Amino acid sequence: MSRRGAQRARTISGSAGLAGNAPPVRRLAAVLILTLLFGLGACSKSAEEKRADYCAAVKDASTGLTRTADEGGASAFLKALPVLEELAEQAPSDLKDEWQTYLGALRNLRDVLAEAKVTPEELSDGVPKRLSEEERARVLGAVRNARSPQTQAAAQGITQQALDVCRTQIL
């Protein structure tokens, strides 16, 4: 192997590495790479900026959510779910648990109704008699979960925060 080939092999294998004996350009490159890799967290938004973004999203969504609730009937929650999920993604960390509880109940209800081939409107007269006992039990369980004190408390927490911090009615 030529002298130049041996030097290249040592550099590639790491014997010259990024240690103190590396050329200044390589040390600078290493510092820049490490700064970029580990410094990205410093470029993230502050809690105040995230809260302001969340409040802006709440204000943008509030009119549409109100309209959906007013016009949507029993299936309004299905129509509102994508918007609510977007808001939950932007929610400040102190609301994550409430959003998780609330959306978990709504998603579960949506999924159980879809599996049983039941529309929310059908539930206004009770659980359809055409369902098997197992399906009826699952539908009733999903409805109870959506109406549970935990789910209602989560919805109340989301609503209260939107009123107190964002000055906007949301749910």
pLDDT, tens only, 80-94? 999 999 999 999 999
* Confidence (pLDDT) at 111: 98
Segment 33-52 mean pLDDT: 66
User: pLDDT tens digit string along 116-135?
Assistant: 999 999 998 899 999 999 99
User: pLDDT tens digit string along 45-66?
Assistant: 888 899 999 999 999 999 999 9
Which residue's entry shows tokens 């039990």?
Answer: 137
- The pTM of the full predicted model, rounded to 2 decimals, is 0.72
CB of 146 closer than 8 Å to CB of 105? yes
Tokens at residue 74, please?
Answer: 């029993």
* Confidence (pLDDT) at 24: 59
Q: In residues, how long is the chain? A: 171
Burial of residue 37 (CB within 10 Å: 0-12, 13-18, 19+) is: exposed
* Confidence (pLDDT) at 47: 85
